[in-house]
Amino acid sequence: MSKKKKAVEILSVLKKLYPNATCSLDYETPVQLLVATILSAQCTDERVNKVTPNLFAQFPDAQSLAYADRETIEILVRSTGFFRNKAKNIQGACLKIMEDYNGEVPKTMTELLTLPGVARKTANVVLAHGFGIIEGVTVDTHVKRLSNRLGLTKNSQPVQIEKDLMKLLPKVEWENFSISIIYHGRAVCNARKPQCDVCSLAYLCPSKKNA
């Protein structure tokens, strides 16, 4: 089986396993999604979703976040880890949105990448789930781990992994693949102890024998 056929087969299995898979972050607007995604770095979505209700109650939009007291933001996001840097990036991104993009989250990859704290992972999430625009494959820790375990890439850098996956999958399915494989990473293919005996992808996985 070619690598491309294998990738499509993996996607087919994942879509059957997780037919309702969607972004796990809670948000109401693109800027809230942007903020939540920045907070999700090296933190679980579950933890982020516990933090954002209070954050967004006080600072619901780009304007309020851009001109907020930084220490107040830090206190509100502290439990997500790296809170000072995250607060700085959130405020910096919102300030740039206000000054350069008329208060609206930009809708292109190039523009999103100009915002503090935004790399391709965050930009892909915002474009896909905030605007329905598919520009790439979101590569988080689950996507990185499973893509390597399944033999879809040999790379360790997210940007290169994304390029490899984009070559293997139809563009319309790029974000579906990311979301579905994230669900599988949480439910079955754990980082420390993958459950190969109950994994529906085991027959496609070259790493099964080593687990």
pLDDT tens track for 126-165: 999 999 999 999 999 999 999 999 999 999 999 999 999 9
d(CA 111, CA 140): 21
Between helix 141-149 and helix 158-168 the angle, nearest 10°, is: 60
Q: Give the pLDDT mean for 91-98.
A: 98
Question: What does the alpha-carbon distance between residue 186 and residue 45 come to, in Å, rounded to a whole number?
Answer: 11
pLDDT value of residue 209: 60
- Number of H helices and E strands in the chain, helices first, is 12, 0
Question: What is the rounded average pLDDT of the residues 62-71?
Answer: 98
Q: Is 140 a catalytic residue?
A: yes
Catalytic entry in 45, 86, 96, 140: 140
Paired tokens of 184: 């599988």
Which tens digits make up the pLDDT trace of 105-129?
A: 999 999 999 999 999 999 999 999 9
* Active-site pick, 121, 164, 167, 208: 121
pLDDT band at 211 (very low <50, low <70, confident <90, very high): very low
Find out whether 119 and 113 touch, Cβ atoms under 8 Å. yes
CATH class as words, domain 3-21+137-210? mainly alpha
Please, where in the chain does CATH 1.10.340.30 lie?
30-131
pLDDT value of residue 78: 98
pLDDT at 210: 53
Q: What is the pTM of this model?
A: 0.94
**CATH 1.10.1670.10 spans which residues of the chain?**
3-21+137-210
41 close to 52: Cβ distance less than 8 angstroms: no
Tokens of 126: 């915002």
Residue 208 is predicted with a pLDDT of 82
Q: Examine the residue annotation and report whether 69 is marked as an active-site residue of this protein.
A: no
Angle at 95 between CA 91 and CA 99, to 5 degrees: 175
Half-sphere exposure of 210 (CA within 13 A, CB side): 6
Does domain 30-131 fall under CATH 3.90.25.10? My reply is no
Mean pLDDT in residue range 8-33: 97
* CA nearest neighbour of 97 among 76, 118, 82: 118
Q: Is the pLDDT of residue 46 over 60?
A: yes
One-letter identity of residue 47:
R
> Whole-angstrom Cα distance, residue 97 to residue 181?
31
